Structure 1
Amino acid sequence: MTAETAYLFRHALLRDAAYQLQLPGDRARLHGIAFALIENHAGGRAPQPAALDDTEGIPFEPHGSDPFAEELAEHARRACDAADAGGLAMSAARKLYLRRAAEHAELRFRHEDSQRLWEELAGSIAGVERGLALGRAAVIAHESGRSILAEPLLERAIAIHREAGHRLFEGTALDALANLYSMTGRVERAERTHLEALAISREAGNRRLEGLVLGNLGIGYYEMGRLEAAERICAEALAIRRELGDRRGQGLDLGNLAVVYRNTGRIEMAENAYAEALSFHRQVGDRRAEGVELGRLANMFAVTGRVPLAERTHLQALAIHREVGNRRAEGIELGNLALICADTGQVEQEEQMLTEALAIHREVGDPRSECFTLGNLANLYGRSGRVALSERTYAEALEICRKSGNRRSEGVTLGNLAGVYQDTGRLELAARTFTEALAISREVRNRRFEGLQLCNYSLLQILLGRFEEARLTWRNGAVILRDLGDTKTLETKTANMREATLKSDVPPFDEPAF
């Protein structure tokens, strides 16, 4: 131990001893003095923020004391022990500064601190306000990737609102719980809970909550592969947000609609919707939503052959996810960047990114993304000659997809697994698996993978000597990819088809006009 360290240790020990020797009342008064000095230095008493049960969305107004709010709350707590009339005033001051400290930490993306402070505030208040504070803590926990902590907090909040008979706040908490169910793969339970929240919003006549729930329900339907319902519900949500002048909500709904447009081949509409969504996110300063939207836009750039632009946009999105502490989106973005590495032949970097992404998906409890990333890892293993490991990894991904009810990823994984069976000579098993994969891709209207799987299946049909079937299958797949604007994949599949037809001494399947 250095002399300086020894001095600091003795100083801290003596300071604590001196503190403990004070009588409890004297200690409390000293904390009151410290509270007053810090508060005066920071610009005086901070204003009371909007009530927790405010439904008008009044924004939080910063104050010079906010960086010291947690310290002020602690001094106020300790000053409450004073045996004078100031105890009640200090109790009120503690609640004020706990609330401001929680809001300040949330704005600074200090998620763990914010969650802890909201829970501490909940412990000092009662009734509906306690339920609302618990709900805020839960949403922060969920959005920062700690769903396992968020779920019991939301359940407690819902129980409080039900006991109080406050249907509007019950509906809001149910919507948040439904989002959590969706993110953790419990899609049927998510739908039921969203519909329950929607019924409450309409019963209460609250258009703001109705728009919120519809937007979340719409993207839930997209994840379930119900694209027509997703588009209809998201459009309904957008109409309500426009009616209310809710710019933040409009940005979210436009982004969700853009995803549906992209996956149904309406690329120009998708790009316009993404641009409009990003504009709203930036206007209202919603960095979290901006990061998510940039990641979605980058995916569209990638599938339409604009790979350098896709990479730059993914990196922008990743930087924002890390800035705001969005671990779930960070994992998704790393997986997307890994696909760019695959396209550019950076195999080591691809595997490293996929492994890191997989660890994050497991950390935050995101089975949908875990399934997708396992599939990409299996694909990498296959390309690098680790065929047995590839098959085992696809099987693991398939099990997760089925357990979580993720039909979209199940169809993708089955199509990839069929390719492994084909490459290892199990042609009839490959044919059955392609048929199963295509049925699911059509069921969930995953047009891109339907087109890709049709082109891949045609290569198997060539090996089986079914040349006319193969020609029709390949052309159907090529039409879909062309309609979706996925030129890069179509070029690859065309080259694969020409190589296979040349080996089998049959004319190429692509039409002269193509």
Structure 2
Amino acid sequence: MPNSSIDAQPADAERAALLEAAADGHFMGGEFSEALSCQLQSVALRTRMGDWAGAGNGAHAVGFLRFLLADHVGAVQSYEEALQLRERAGDVRGQGLTLGRMAGVFQQIGNHGKAVELLQRSLACFARTSALKDMGTGLNNMAVSLREMGDVNRAMQCYERSLELRRQVDDFDGLAATLHNISVLYFDQAQYDRAFSLLEEARQIRETMGDCRGLGQTVLRLGMIYEAKGDLAHAKQCYEDALHLARGADTQSRDDEATALLNLADVMAAQGDTDGALAALTEAENLFSKSGMNAGIAMVCCGRGYTFASAGRLSEALACFEEANVRLMSMGDRPRLFATLTAMATILSQCGRHQEARTALASSLELQTQLPQRHQPSATAQATSREAAAWPVGPCHLH
């Protein structure tokens, strides 16, 4: 009489493989819920078989699918399961990849301190396995969070090391991403020419590789430089090009589309097209809500505040900034909270509510002293000068 537990293993393995193939098909078709269902069944089968490596890979995939479905709590739980399974399988590099993905969830919801902690653990795994390409990715991603936390010096150190590793292993896609991200640091410091040259280098790489999504992100950043220089016509063209690329059949990125709309709204508001700006912001908010990007939703609130303020609708502007303030506080996003409080102080002052204005300004200055380094010096200087200036207050960009 055959041993049923032994005989079940080949059947389970075959069934798990079929489920994973079906999940891949659903994923490619954008059917993430169906893909998730297949992957969950596969993980259960591989766990029953004692196939810890296969189950770990499946749980990792489940985490990513839940992230795409904006189930951030579920994504973290699945990544923690994947981490345990990969530890059991002795897959050190896999553990690093899972920790990196988990960090991405915390970046999405604005908890950059937790993201840095996870990325440090991820980098330790990659160092143990000499995974240089993965180390370049991890350092790049850590720099993103450090910049969001206002720690510009450490961010630049991580970017420079990432750049070195990515050149070493001929990771051209990663190289373009890091060049793009370093340009953001120079933009923050109002070194626009240096930022522009880095973006042009990134754009050339992405055009050569046919990377439509990356190209759209870089074009959007070029638009931000034009806008900062006061060239609204070129800025608007860049934002429209970025929006077109984000909506392309080969890209279809909700977050990129929403970000382009957010920045396009800035220009529309500056050009006096209040209705157009508000419509773009509503569309951006819907997209950010679907992906669960809390930082994006907060920036939409800020965008509405700036738009209403530019139109002289100060009561509505103040309400929007107050909503943004609540969201940013819950995320612990101190750099953006500083700019929002400063904008609120300006509006309160213009409304004759001087005591409340002084309180808001004092809070913003206290926040500024808590940052590791002055975050976005150019934006800080602009916000400070605007306290005594007339509207419009300038844009509050997402990236």
Work out whether the TM-score is over 0.5. yes
Instruction: Check whether the contact 1:145–1:328 (CA below 8 A) recurs between aligned residues.
Output: yes
Amino acid across the alignment from 2:202: A
Shift of 1:257: 0.6
Q: 2:62 aligns with which of 78, 97, 101?
A: 101
Confirm whether residue 293 of structure 1 aligns to residue 260 of structure 2: yes
Who is 1:122 aligned against?
83
Q: Which residue of 2 aligns with 1:11?
A: none
The answer to whether residue 311 in structure 2 is matched with residue 350 in structure 1 is no
Partner in structure 2 of residue 88 of structure 1:
50
Deviations 1:185-221 (A, max 9, x none): 1122212211111111112222111101011111222
- The letter for the 2-side match of 1:164 is T
Cα displacement string for residues 438-488 of structure 1 (whole angstroms, at most 9, x for unaligned residues) = xxxxxxxxxxxxxxx6xx7xxxxxxxxxxxxxxxxxxxxxxxxxxxxxxx9
Q: 1:162 aligns with which of 107, 122, 127?
A: 127
Please give the alpha-carbon distance, in whole angstroms, between the structure 1 residues aligned to 2:256 and 2:209. Answer: 20
> How far is 1:295 from its partner?
0.2
Give the whole-Å Cα distance in 2 for the aligned partners of 1:74 and 1:346: 55
Q: Deviations over 1:72-104 (max 9, x none)?
A: 266447x63xxxxxx335x45533532332232
TM-aligned CA deviation for residue 63 of structure 1: 8.2
SS at match of 2:337: helix
Match of 2:397 in 1: none
RMSD: 3.1
Q: CA deviation at 1:160?
A: 0.8
Q: How does 1:205-224 map to 2 (within 5 A)?
A: 205-224=170-189
Mapped partners of 1:59, 1:132: distance in 2: 21
- Corresponding residue number in structure 2 for 1:324: 291
Equivalence for 2:358: 391
**2:166 corresponds to which of 193, 201, 218:** 201
Taking the aligned partners of 2:182 and 2:227, their CA distance within structure 1 comes to 19
CA contact (8 A) 1:43 1:64 kept: no
Partner Cα separation in structure 1 for residue 205 and residue 183 of structure 2: 13
Kept in 1, the 8 Å contact 2:23–2:34? The answer is no
CA contact (8 A) 1:185 1:405 kept: yes
Residue 362, structure 1, aligned to residue 324, structure 2: no
Q: Which residue of 2 aligns with 1:461?
A: none
The size of the alignment, in residue pairs, is 375
Q: Displacement of 1:301 after TM fit?
A: 0.8
Secondary structure of residue in 2 paired with 1:47: helix
Task: Deviation per CA, 1:317-371: give whole Å up to 9, x if none.
Answer: 1111111111011111101102233345554433332122112212223222111
Counterpart selection for 1:47 from 1, 14, 21: 21
Match of 2:176, SS state, is helix
Q: What letter is aligned with 2:150?
A: G
2:305 pairs with 1:338: yes
Secondary structure class of the residue paired with 1:45: helix
1:145 equivalent in structure 2: 110
Q: In the alignment, which of 401, 404, 412 is matched to residue 368 of structure 2?
A: 401
Aligned counterpart, 2:137: 172
- Look up the equivalent residue of 2:178 and give its one-letter code: V
Which structure has more RCO (C-alpha within 8 Å, separation ≥ 6)?
2
For the residues of structure 2 that align with 1:313 and 1:237, how far apart are their CA atoms?
A: 28
Structure 2 distance, partners of 1:324, 1:174, is 25
In 1, Cα distance between equivalents of 2:155 and 2:356? 34
Which residue does the alignment assign to 2:225? 260
Note if contact 1:368-1:409 (Cα within 8 Å) is conserved in structure 2: no
1:242 correspondence with 2:207: yes
CA contact (8 A) 2:343 2:383 kept: no
Q: Which amino acid aligns with 1:46?
A: E
Return the letter of the residue paired with 2:95.
R
Q: Give the Cα–Cα distance (whole angstroms) in 2 for the partners of residues 153 and 43 of structure 1.
A: 31
With the length of structure 1 as denominator, give the TM-score of the two structures.
0.67
Q: 1:294 deviation in Å?
A: 0.6
How many Å separate the matches in 2 of 1:127 and 1:220? 32
Letter paired with 1:226: Q
Distance apart, 1:113 and its partner CA: 1.7
Question: Which among 315, 340, 343 is matched to residue 373 of structure 1?
Answer: 340
Alpha-carbon displacement from aligned partner over 1:44-74 (angstroms, at most 9, x marks no partner) = 4322989xxxxxxx97986885242464266
Superposed, 1:2-17 pairs within 5 Å as: none
Distance in 2 between residues matched to 1:319 and 1:229, nearest whole Å: 35
Q: 1:72 aligns with which of 25, 41, 57?
A: 41
Q: Could you tell me how far 1:163 is from its partner in structure 2?
A: 1.7
Q: Compute the displacement of 1:156 (Å).
A: 0.5
Point out where structure 1 has 5 or more consecutive residues left out of the alignment.
Answer: 1-28, 51-57, 81-86, 420-452, 457-487, 491-514
Q: Which digits, 9 at most, give the CA deviation of each residue in 1:371-396, with x for residues without a partner? A: 11001110121122221221232233
Q: Aligned partners of 1:204 and 1:337: how far apart in 2?
A: 44
Distance change >3 Å, CA 318–CA 118, structure 1 → 2: same
Matches for 1:410-489 after TM superposition, within 5 Å? 410-417=380-387, 419=388
Query: 2:332, 2:124 → 1: CA distance?
Result: 24
Give the counterpart letter for 1:88 in structure 2.
G
The answer as to whether partners of 1:358 and 1:374 remain within 8 angstroms in 2 is yes
